[in-house]
Each structure stands twice: as C-alpha cells, then as structure tokens.
C-alpha cells in the first residue's frame, strides 16, 4: 500500500492519551501535571493498547479519538499491564463500533523493510513518519532496571508523545508498538525502538487488574 493508503486506513484507529496526576507544591497545594502519549484501538469495543509508562500508574487517563476532534475526550480505565514489556491495555466506553488496527506478524521482519509510525509527537495529533527497520532483536535498558528484549529498531522519526503508538508495515498492519528513542538530547536522532507485535496478544489476554 502507498503511504497515503496506509495513513487513511490506520489513522482513525490511532488515539491521543493524556495522563494526569495530582502533586503538591511546597505550600501543600494540589496541582495537576499532564503528559501526552499515543495508543491504538485493537478492537471495535474501545480497547486500546499503549505503553505501560504512558498510563502513569494511578494517573487519570483521557483518550481523544480522531473522529471526535480535540474538544471531546473519553475517560479510560486500565484493564491490564505488562511492565516487563512496557505494554498496557486500557478501555473507553463507546456507543458503536470503532475502527481498529489489524495485527501483523513481527516474526518475519527484515532489516531494510519499510515501516510507518503514527502518533502524537509533542502533542501534534495524527502525525505520520516513515522509515525502515534498522535492526531486530535489540535489547535496551528502560527507566530503572528493566531491560526490554527483542526490540525493533527503526529510523522512522519517533519523538516524545509517540510512545504507545503503532509501527505499521506496508500492508497497513501492526508491526510494533513505539516505545523509546535513543538520544542524548532527548529528541529524535534516527534511532527509535518498538515492542514487536507478537507480544500484543499476551497483553490482551492478561487477567484484568
């Protein structure tokens, strides 16, 4: 499929996720802090996959759907979390069928294969970037002591806010879940990492929390 076809198929299933936590200042006044990430619908019933770090523990989660525009949000609840692979499944209530992203195979990915990333870098919703698979089977150290195994490395531009969004193959299917960037300055330098799609069904089948 062409870039345009892939985007038109996949972007309606890509969502923006805002996580808000309450903190106290030196005067013990409570104030909210928010961060944005990405996610994508895995079925028409409102279940969404994202990164575990996007859900922010006990944060309040709000999801914005492309079809609704920026002024409408849906409160989401966490269904399951896989901290080891930095994946989470959340749910929003919906009145009808929603567009979702089909699952593709990550077992046969090849270095040099074209991929596309859709997400919300720096809050710019529905952003498309393209690139190739730079390597497969990478191990990277995430925040703390957790090591993420079997990661996909890509040069598709991934920036803060892309976390939890979809890495898509040329058939318009999920190849991976964008998770991390490698940059000493905090911005994209052509080295991004995604959790392979074959781990996604494990999260969907986890017992609810």
Catalytic residue among 19, 36, 38, 86: 86
Cα–Cα distance between 125 and 103 in angstroms, integer? 22
Active site (annotated) includes residue 163: yes
Cα–Cα distance between 81 and 203 in angstroms, integer? 7
Cα–Cα distance between 193 and 168 in angstroms, integer? 13
β-pairing, 87-91 vs 114-119, is: unpaired
Nearest to 99 by CA among 45, 50, 60, 151: 45
Catalytic residue among 36, 53, 73, 197: 53
Active site (annotated) includes residue 53: yes
Active site (annotated) includes residue 73: no
Cα–Cα distance between 145 and 103 in angstroms, integer? 30
Cβ neighbourhood burial of 186 (10 Å; 0-12, 13-18, 19+): exposed
Within 10 A of 30 (CB to CB), how many other CB atoms are there? 8
Measured over the CA atoms of residue 59, residue 60, residue 65 and residue 66, the dihedral's sign is negative
Active centre residues (catalytic): 53, 86, 163
């Amino acid at each position: 499929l062409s870039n345009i076809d892939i985007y038109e198929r996949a972007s309606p299933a890509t969502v923006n996720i805002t996580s808000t936590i309450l903190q106290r200042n030196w005067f013990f006044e409570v104030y909210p802090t928010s961060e944005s990430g990405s996610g994508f619908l895995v079925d028409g019933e409102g279940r969404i996959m994202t990164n575990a770090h996007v859900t922010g523990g006990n944060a309040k989660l709000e999801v914005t759907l492309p079809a609704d525009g920026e002024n409408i949000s849906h409160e989401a609840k966490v269904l399951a979390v896989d901290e080891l692979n930095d994946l989470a499944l959340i749910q929003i209530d919906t009145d009808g069928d929603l567009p979702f992203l089909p699952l593709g195979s990550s077992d046969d990915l090849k270095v040099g294969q074209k991929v596309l990333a859709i997400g919300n870098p720096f809050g710019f919703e529905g952003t498309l970037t393209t690139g190739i698979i730079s390597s497969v089977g990478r191990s990277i150290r995430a925040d703390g002591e957790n090591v993420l195994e079997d990661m996909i490395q890509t040069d598709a531009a991934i920036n803060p806010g892309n976390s939890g969004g979809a890495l898509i193959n040329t058939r318009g299917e999920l190849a991976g879940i964008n998770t991390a960037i490698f940059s000493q300055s905090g911005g994209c330098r052509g080295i991004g990492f995604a959790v392979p799609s074959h781990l996604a069904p494990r999260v969907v089948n986890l017992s609810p929390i």
